Structure 1
């Protein structure tokens, strides 16, 4: 039990904690942003310019 407390203290103020908790928020924001731009196409059968640019620049 004391080992778990020691690990919790090490994890308390580390950058790993911030990365662990903020990375899902980043991906959620990116998904919402992409979904909004995917619906902005004037023709329903065309791909959004934002999405085509994103997939062309994808590494």
Structure 2
């Protein structure tokens, strides 16, 4: 999932450099949404692991 966020970020940077503002804005927005979703799922996984009694790696 983090790979997808980085991919959309790269697409946004390239599109912005080439002057495609609409595509750059959309790609940046998608990258932000995917990154926040990744952070939420990561936090949930760490909390679930802590509740089960396993120490973090």
Show CA shifts across 1:4-55 (max 9, x none). xxx5x3413x2x22211111110000000000010111xxxxxx23x1x2xx
- Larger RCO (alpha carbons 8 Å, 6+ apart): 2
The corresponding residue for 2:52 is 40
RMSD over aligned Cα atoms: 2.0
User: Is 1:30–2:42 an aligned residue pair?
Assistant: yes
Stretches of structure 2 lacking an aligned partner (at least 5 in a row): 1-20
TM score, norm. by length of structure 2: 0.50
Bigger radius of gyration, 1 or 2?
1
Runs of 4+ in 1 over 3 A off after TM superposition: none
Counterpart-to-counterpart distance in 1, 2:33 and 2:44: 18
